[in-house]
Structure 1
Amino acid sequence: MFNLKELLKKTDFTNEEIIFLLGLKDPEQCKLLQEEAYRRTTALMGNKVYYRGLIECSNICTSNCRYCGIRKDNHQVRRYEMTKQEIIDQAVWAARNGYASICLQAGERRDEKFISFIEECLREIHKQTVSDVLPDGVGVTLSLGEQTKEVYERWAVASGNRSNLRYLARFETSNADLFSMLHSAKGKYEKILDHRLECLKYLKECGYQVGTGVMIGIPGQTLKDLCMDIRMFQQVDADMIGMGPYLMSEEADLESLGQMENKALFQLSLNMIAVTRLVMGNINIAAATALQVLHPEGREIAIEYGCNVIMPNLSPTKFREGYQLYDHKPGLNDDPFHFGLHLEERIQSRGREVGWNESGSSRKWLMKQEKQEQLPC
């Protein structure tokens, strides 16, 4: 048995120590973990939480990930694709309302029409969001799945703002058997874990701030698996992490496997956030919207456990019902302006401030950039 108070003083952890921390259930012990994660976040990342305005561009998907509500073979969902002008309008609104960064997310496609469409959107977003407040334009996070290195580079060039450019590509689980179970549907784009990791390598080579993450509570997943996920975060040298609980979707292909009980799943998710903060240090960690399904203040509590990024949904409300990756997704009717202000009040109630008009790049990535600039030519 470990001495928890002494363990929480460490910055380098063994696998056994990580597994112990992930498995904490006693409220007093969980509180100690939460307090140290919060303190460590303040010391390493400051006191601010950064917004990434989420724009869900399209729910058209060529993949059949078995857990996902917008998988290709779900014929119940009404498919949509935002126009270029609709996407640009939301990005410009974000830039004018204090969001220094947006996130473009969509179902997975690799056709040239889609690739060029995103490229055009990025160019125009950059052009229309350059201002005295944002001299390099609004920052961009892309979450558009597995692509070739050439495509990643095209999008990076089109963004016009490599200093505030991110990509989120979660590997979902480092356990190859679990990964195969999640993505075992047959199809042209059947997923392979090694390929997902290769994409993370390409993104780093193209200069993106590399984000990845996992699902927590996958049926059959163990604490050891989650520990190995954290080790994979270290291995890929992630700059940011976006992860959340495994939630069922009635229109997916894994409903029969069920879902962990909500209270236990919520605490496990919080533990995973906190331990990731303790192990990974000065990276960005996003508070997943999915946590709101498990607790009405899920994202705010996640801030107390070490998160410093939130992604308010800026998608037009008419599209939101069609972009439900899991059941009971919250915020389908939230107005972006009033929701953003209300969210700020809730963030302030947790002792944090919103970093309005600030890119909020991970300090780990910034430090790496400084070292590169100091290298002799």
Structure 2
Amino acid sequence: MIGLDKQEIIQLLKATGEERTALLTRAQEVKVKETGNKVYFRGLVEFSNICAKDCLYCGIRKGNEKVIRYDVSDDEILESCRFAWENNFASVVLQSGELSSPTFIKRVDDLLKKIKQISNGELGITLSCGEQSQETYRRWFESGAHRYLLRIESSNRELYYKIHPENEIHSFEKRIEALRSLKNTGYQVGTGVMIGLPFQTYEHLADDLLFFKKLDIDMCGMGPYIEHEDTPLYQHRHLLKTKQERFDLALNMIAVLRLLMPDINIAAATALQAIDPAGREKALAIGANVIMPNLTPTAYREEYQLYEDKPCLDEDAELCRNCLEARIHMAGSEIGYGEWGDSKHFYIRSKKQPETKG
């Protein structure tokens, strides 16, 4: 199934009924065979919603004056990371709006070193802090980050500029160059797209999957597009599929990606749960193998809403962990506690040996 062409991918994305059941079943079989039946935690800390970008779909875009901006203190970030370490999550994700000032770069650098220090070097660290220079990526890599998620959102240039302003700050070419810089620096590289956007076609989505394959990514985070009323893209909501259709298409995308790239890590996106209460479990049951418990202090969560109806805004870290434990077991998987759960694909691609920790 690895050699799927564009037309075959489109057919699978459109699959319904028995054909869809067969697709989802096959994807799960491939996942278990290639990556095992474990689900890996990435404790998510959304440490700032201050952003220099004005993406047309995003609730924390610079131009949205209704958002209350926040910066989680370093002490609170480190406390969240300590919780992850003490609870055997093994990995955290530091996520923020996109900034590239010297102050921001140094702050992230210092945090990386402190997280390694408080966890005896045992916590794996993924960053999701947007486009940076290769020099910055290298600096953060040397300070302890080893995975990086930078979503392309659409690999089609024309569609990209329907969901972003067309200017130097939102350059499609710079986005792709940043992904290449991450690979060259040595990160395990993740990207992803929104599924069910206005103006988006099945052809676009098939090309997105082929883009992932060509870029040779190590991990992917993608989920259904959910509109936010305080964004310019909201005016095109009449073009949208229903939320259920977007949800079903997102599961098909995950399943097809698992067939196309059998040994990468695929996250069960939180946006799935915004549509279906069991959304993330359903993704884990058809090909996903990573889940991100939200460790952001609850006082800040309501202001990090990229889309509407985001779940788990009022659950503290302990509740979130217990809830996900139950959900994962119900999905028939086990949790890889104490394991980094790095991308198998990365080690094959780079011919490196997996870390002994986790």
CA contact (8 A) 1:183 1:190 kept: no
Aligned pair 1:207/2:186, yes or no? yes
The Cα shift of 1:372 comes to 8.2
CA contact (8 A) 2:45 2:294 kept: yes
Flag structure 1 segments of 5+ consecutive residues without an equivalent: 1-9, 131-135
Cα distance in structure 1, aligned partners of 2:272 and 2:92:
20
Cα distance in structure 2, aligned partners of 1:303 and 1:58:
28
Cα distance in structure 2, aligned partners of 1:150 and 1:369:
21
Cα distance in structure 2, aligned partners of 1:267 and 1:39:
19
* Higher mean displacement: 244-253 or 309-318: 244-253
Cα distance in structure 2, aligned partners of 1:323 and 1:270:
24
The Cα shift of 1:369 comes to 3.9
Deviations 1:333-358 (A, max 9, x none): 11211221221121111110010010
Q: Secondary structure at the match of 1:290?
A: helix
Cα distance in structure 2, aligned partners of 1:180 and 1:11:
30
AA matched with 1:88: L
Q: Which residue pairs with 2:134 in the alignment?
A: 149
CA contact (8 A) 1:65 1:185 kept: no
Deviations 1:85-130 (A, max 9, x none): 1111111110110111000000110100111011111110101101
Aligned pair 1:232/2:211, yes or no? yes
Deviations 1:246-284 (A, max 9, x none): 110111111111132011111100000000000011000
Q: Which residue pairs with 1:348 in the alignment?
A: 329
Cα distance in structure 1, aligned partners of 2:159 and 2:69:
28
Q: Which residue pairs with 1:58 in the alignment?
A: 48
Alignment counterpart, residue 262 of structure 2, candidates 270, 281, 302? 281
The Cα shift of 1:368 comes to 2.9
TM-score, L = length of structure 1: 0.91
The Cα shift of 1:15 comes to 1.1
Q: What is the number of equivalent residue pairs in this alignment?
A: 352
Cα distance in structure 2, aligned partners of 1:176 and 1:290:
24
CA contact (8 A) 1:66 1:252 kept: yes
Alignment of 1:65-104 (within 5 A): 65-104=55-94
Aligned pair 1:219/2:210, yes or no? no
Q: Which residue pairs with 1:38 in the alignment?
A: 28
Cα distance in structure 2, aligned partners of 1:351 and 1:178:
37
Alignment counterpart, residue 194 of structure 1, candidates 170, 173, 185? 173
Q: Which residue pairs with 1:332 in the alignment?
A: 313
The Cα shift of 1:312 comes to 0.8
Cα distance in structure 2, aligned partners of 1:247 and 1:371:
38
The Cα shift of 1:59 comes to 0.4
CA contact (8 A) 1:78 1:322 kept: yes
Aligned alpha-carbon RMSD (Å)? 1.4
AA matched with 2:76: E
Q: Secondary structure at the match of 2:182?
A: helix
AA matched with 2:47: C
TM-score, L = length of structure 2: 0.96
CA contact (8 A) 2:294 2:320 kept: no
The Cα shift of 1:371 comes to 5.6
